[in-house]
Amino acid sequence: MTIIEKILANHANKTSVVPGDIVDIEIDVRLARDFGGANVVKNLKDNGLRLADPQKTFFTFDCNPTGSDQKYAANQQLCRQYAREERVGVYDINSGIGTHLAIDKGMAIPGSTLVSTDSHANILGAIGAFGQGMGDRDIAAAWARGSVWFKVPESAKIELTGKRPPYISAKDIALNLLKRFGANSLLGLSVEIVGKVADQLTLDERITISSMATEMGAIAIFFTPSEKVLEHIKERRGESVSQVSADEDAQYSLVEKIDVSEFYQAIALPGKPHDVVSVKEVQGTKIDSVFIGSCTNGRMEDLRVVAKILNGKNIAPGIVLKIVPSTDEIWNTCMEEGLIKIFKEAGALVGNAGCAGCASGQVGQNGPGEKTVSTGNRNFAGKQGKGEVYLASPAVAAASAVAGHITTPSLLPAEPSVFKPSSELKYQITVREEKTALKPLILEGKVWLIDEDNIDTDMIFHNRYLAITDIDQMGQYTFDNLKEWEDYAQKSEAGDIVITGKNFGAGSSRQQAVDCFKSLGNLCVLAKSFGAIYERNAINAGFPVLNYNDLSELELENRDAIRIDLEKGQITNLKNNKMMMIRPFSEVQMKIYQKGDLLAIDM
């Protein structure tokens, strides 16, 4: 049998299996991440299921260890609460990537099985273990039953021959294999990489190559554990572990020999991991940023290579370099060895251990038009942001950060590339002379009476929406963090007026807390007082805000219609015709209001 056939047979209590067999296999390690973990819990609870064995069950919070996204933070807390109730282990936000932890903590050993909500769980092939990424329902079943069904795949054997050039990294090997096999030639196959070249690969290098099995469409890439790998697992496990290898008479549907001496320093062009070319073909391409990390290249050996290149150098002007170790242990080792100091002195941002760029909201995302060299395993459109992502080795990534353009360590320039302005600077702002109709000085609309003081900007427009820049998209989130007013955006109508208490708009300087009302078509906000920044933001946006001391004489009720004279400072309740005076617009407020924007007036 092949490696995968042996593992599956052993975990299905069978003497043998063949490709096409569907077997129920016991799962030794059962993981769920912050991405998907909450849905695993929901599936279990909705179906009234309990855990088969909490001691084999773990959460790993690696997608967003910074807690920078409210949805991730909510999922993480839900999982923590469930873990406390069910005695489930949690590798929290200070731990790192779950699959790496499974290896380094001795949870997974050669011949074992592991499932996770991580599509790169097949990285366990690096130690001769079977790892699979699965959906939330699959993982819930594994947690509840302790086993899942699996179809035995066909196997392929790739022998790496020839002499490996010293400048060819494990990432270069993976990218050259991607070039050779594309995204689907190995589809659904369990791949074993063998030969003297493979035998000499370190654990970190095996992890890099196995990490990219998913991009090749393979079930997994397996290596027969070397003595050094077995020793590492023994040390981490605290006990001896057995070797796992294919039988000499194992059957393969594909057998190939590939000469690594012909491999080149490779880079994947944006959009497709398998669209691989020699770095020489894109040498000199100007870039904006570099990301070094991920489950593919966030290991200790990777970061030592990076530090060697960065030591005593600075990243090119205008370049952003983000470095994220794969585990907290590696992060701490970087600190102990002085690597963090080298990274920081070179100008890099060093993030918490975790998946980083591959996960939305984490360190490593890029913006529209941004060109990034990344050591990740995927560069699908939108996967690591809105820009273009090139996949490369840590050495090429680090060298490119120093050069300011794509290059290799051997071709580092004496002076880095710099960004050049596309046009001459213009120091004078040209005020737009537009003939626009004067805005009305009389406003009429129905009121919303929100009798609360100190409504802050997070209540008005929560910080989880701060990335929104399109004013048309802002209105829907107005007051969605204000208790009992979460549905304001749904019930508010164009032409409405908000009347509230003291210190409205306290807190941050976010302009969206003003613009969300404009987005809804609300006419103005009246308050006893405003946060200082908020009041300035509203006035400068041409949005009417008015102060009052007491409106009790108007006998207002919710949804009464009122008339406001901005120039006179006069308010009338149209239901009973009762009128009061408040502070009118100042001269500057009126001027900005009539033009619609501070930037449209000539001060």
Angle at 185 between CA 283 and CA 204, to 5 degrees: 60
Question: CA-to-CA distance for 340 and 10, rounded, in angstroms?
Answer: 44
pLDDT means per 10 residues in the chain (603 residues)? 98 97 96 88 92 95 79 88 96 94 96 93 96 90 94 97 96 97 92 97 97 93 96 94 95 97 96 94 97 94 98 97 96 98 97 82 81 91 85 98 97 92 67 63 97 94 86 95 96 97 91 95 96 92 95 96 96 96 93 88 67
The number of residues making up the chain comes to 603
pLDDT at 136: 87
Please give the Cα distance from 366 to 557 (Å, whole number). 49
| Amino acid symbol at 329 | E
| Distance in angstroms (rounded) separating the CA atoms of residues 47 and 143 | 13
Q: For residue 155, what are the β-bridge partners?
A: 190
Residue 566 structure tokens: 């901005």
Do the Cβ atoms of 5 and 155 come closer than 8 Å?
Answer: yes
Q: How much is the pLDDT for 283?
A: 97
**Domains of the chain listed by start with CATH number:** 3-262 (3.30.499.10), 269-411 (3.30.499.10), 442-600 (3.20.19.10)
CB 598 within 8 A of CB 511: no
What pLDDT score does 66 carry?
Answer: 75
CA 300 to chain centre: 22
- Maximum distance among all Cα pairs of the chain, rounded to whole angstroms: 97
The position carrying tokens 């073909």 is 281
Rounded CA separation 109/249 (Å)? 24
Structure tokens at 146: 């302790």
Give the model's pLDDT for residue 384: 79
Q: Do residues 487 and 476 lie in contact, with contact meaning Cβ atoms separated by under 8 Å?
A: no
pTM of this prediction? 0.82
Q: What pLDDT was estimated at residue 200?
A: 97
CB 472 within 8 A of CB 519: yes
In this prediction, residue 467 carries a pLDDT of 80
